[in-house]
Amino acid sequence: MIAKSKVEEIVNEHLNSETEFVVDITVSTGNHILVLLDSDSGITIDRCVAISRAIEGSFDREEEDFELEVASAGLSEALRLPRQYKKNLGRSLEVLTNGGQKHHGVLTGVTETSFTIDEERMVIPEGKKRKQKVVEPLTFEYSSVKSVYVMISFR
């Protein structure tokens, strides 16, 4: 079986460490290698191809057969690293907590251990009859969320 650490070493040698970063690398028992990459400005298909070729050229198919997929961490992937959160400041997120609660809001702050969204809610203020929009900042520790996705808006 191909070692994940070997794949990670090859990928890191070929990345521009200033702007590009590894989101995840998995190597299954059947030697299916999946490399997810991201960048502060987005990963192009050409960069994925270049990294794929670098990995492909580092292993001998006569020794071990493998399946390789190098992709960008797109909108269908959950956010995993603080660097991805920083890249998405000002965008709408859907947050699913470990307790199963869903929250929707705009990402307004990011630290190494947590992130903050501004969630709009309709509430009835005391002494009023009509609901009013209230923006409530919510802070989540990364460890307290199950998944966080960037919401696509077509407005």
Q: Among residues of the chain, what percentage have pLDDT more than 70?
A: 100
**Which CATH architecture does the domain made up of 82-150 adopt?**
Roll (2.30)
Fold of 4-72: GMP Synthetase; Chain A, domain 3 (3.30.300)
- Span 98-122, pLDDT tens digits: 999 999 999 999 999 999 999 999 8
Task: Give the Cα separation of 81 and 75 in Å (integer).
Answer: 14
Domain with CATH 2.30.30.100 in the chain: 82-150
Distance CA 49, CA 71 (A): 9
d(CA 100, CA 73): 24
Percent residues over pLDDT 90 in the chain: 72
* Over residues 130-154, mean pLDDT: 93
All CATH 3.30.300 domain ranges of the chain, comma separated, are 4-72
The mean of the pLDDT values for the chain is 92
Tokens 């920083």, residue located: 86
Q: What one-letter code names the amino acid at 147?
A: S
Name the amino acid, one letter, at 35: V
Distance CA 48, CA 42 (A): 11
pLDDT band of 5, cuts 50, 70, 90: very high
Tens digits of per-residue pLDDT, 25-62?
999 988 899 999 999 888 899 999 999 999 999 988 88
